């Protein structure tokens, strides 16, 4: 793992989800068409095509109460991936009745359903704190949310869906 002092410190990635326009504005400002949005009282589902070199499709569940975004990528043939669910830790808010915003807080949780879970990008979180991109309180919250997700997923047989279902948040994938 890279030491925090050698990690490039970038501002937190901000993303927008516009339900009315059926678009997703990625952290680089690219506006992508969204195939499916589905709102639940506890979160938002999004599914869209992608032009990323490693994957052609992505599905995400945003769960503000748990400060997480769970994503399943439709990987291109030949692309190896360690996880089957990628969990971003951050701040997820509804800005208006049809607009959601996410602010990434650097930590990610990688889930291999039924097998294990891994916390990554700790170095980025530390560099963001040192570089003034996140306050100590935001870093502490990110760590608490990530460890709560890890504990919950592990306690449910390394199954994100089971953990969320127990909390009344039933998620499905395409």
Give residue 9's pLDDT band: very low, low, confident or very high (50, 70, 90): confident
Euclidean distance between CA atoms 108 and 45, whole angstroms? 19
Q: Residue 158 region, left (φ>0) first, then alpha (ψ -120 to 50), else beta?
A: left
pLDDT digit string (tens) for 52-107? 999 999 999 999 999 999 999 999 999 988 899 999 999 999 999 999 999 999 99
Q: Given this model, what pLDDT does residue 136 score?
A: 97
Task: Tell me the per-residue pLDDT of 148-160, one tens digit each, with 9 for 90 and over.
Answer: 999 999 999 999 9
124, with CB counted inside 10 A (0-12, 13-18, 19+), is buried
Strand duo 116-120 + 99-112: pairing:
antiparallel
**4-166: CATH topology:** FomD barrel-like fold (2.40.380)
Average pLDDT value over all residues in the chain: 95
List of residues 6+ apart from 170 with CB closer than 8 A: 161, 164
**Could you state, in order of their start, the residue ranges of all structural domains in the chain?**
4-166
Instruction: Please give the DSSP secondary-structure letter assigned to residue 125.
Output: H
């Amino acid at each position: 793992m890279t030491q925090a002092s050698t990690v490039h410190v970038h501002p937190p990635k901000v993303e927008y989800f516009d339900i009315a326009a059926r678009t997703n504005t990625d952290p680089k400002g690219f506006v992508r068409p969204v195939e499916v949005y589905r709102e639940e009282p506890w979160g938002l589902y999004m599914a869209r095509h992608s032009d990323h070199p490693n994957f052609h499709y992505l599905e995400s569940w945003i769960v503000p109460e748990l400060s997480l975004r769970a994503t399943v990528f439709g990987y291109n043939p030949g692309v190896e991936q360690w996880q089957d669910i990628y969990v971003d830790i951050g701040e997820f808010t509804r800005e208006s009745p049809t607009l959601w915003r996410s602010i990434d807080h650097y930590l990610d949780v990688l889930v291999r359903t039924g097998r294990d879970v891994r916390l990554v990008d700790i170095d980025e979180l530390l560099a963001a704190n040192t570089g003034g991109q996140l306050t100590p309180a935001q870093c502490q919250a990110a760590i608490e949310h990530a460890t709560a997700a890890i504990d919950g997923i592990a306690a449910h047989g390394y199954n994100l869906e089971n953990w969320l279902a127990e909390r009344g948040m039933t998620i499905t994938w395409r």
